């Protein structure tokens, strides 16, 4: 990501990660990307793909764009490692992994 330039993608998902002919990763679809002020949370918008967005975005709470992009990267890595996404549809309190994400225990 371009965090040194204060740009957040806000819709990272497997479908937006491509490989070139030399197998270099390329990130695509910057339709939700924004410039932001470091250390300032963004307004409540809920933008992104349901199965990749962080809980705070899903409930439309204010959020840190860097942290929510990292959350989406975690979902991507989990999906690549286990060949199944950790959250079947969206982050809801009845999902066993949701509690782990929220409470970190």
Is 11 catalytic? The answer is: yes
Burial (CB count <10 Å: 0-12, 13-18, 19+), residue 76 = middle
Whole-prediction pTM: 0.77
Quick: pLDDT tens for 85-95.
887 666 667 77
- The CATH number of residue 56's host domain is 1.10.510.10
Domain-embedded: residue 41: no
Q: Is the pLDDT of residue 3 over 60?
A: no
pLDDT of residue 91: 62
The domain total for the chain is 1
Q: Is the pLDDT of residue 1 over 70?
A: no
Q: Which domain holds residue 79?
A: 3-36+46-103
Compute the C-alpha angle 60/76/15, nearest 5°: 90
Cβ-proximal residues to 14 (8 Å cutoff; 6+ apart), any chain: 76, 79, 80
Domain-embedded: residue 91: yes
Catalytic residue, chosen from 11, 20, 69, 95, is 11
Task: Supply the mean pLDDT for the chain.
Answer: 84
CA dist., res. 98 & res. 2, Å (int): 28
Cβ 103 vs Cβ 35: under 8 Å:
no
Quick: pLDDT tens for 12-36.
999 999 999 999 999 999 999 988 8
Residues in the chain: 105
């Amino acid at each position: 990501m371009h965090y040194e330039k204060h740009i957040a993608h806000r819709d990272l998902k497997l479908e937006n990660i491509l490989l070139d002919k030399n197998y270099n990763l390329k990130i695509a679809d910057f339709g939700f990307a924004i410039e932001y002020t470091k250390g300032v949370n963004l307004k409540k918008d809920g933008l992104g793909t349901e199965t990749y967005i962080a809980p705070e975005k899903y409930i439309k709470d204010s959020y840190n764009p860097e942290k929510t992009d990292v959350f989406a990267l975690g979902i991507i890595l989990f999906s690549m490692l286990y060949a199944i996404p950790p959250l079947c549809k969206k982050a809801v309190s009845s999902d066993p992994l949701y509690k782990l994400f929220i409470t970190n225990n």
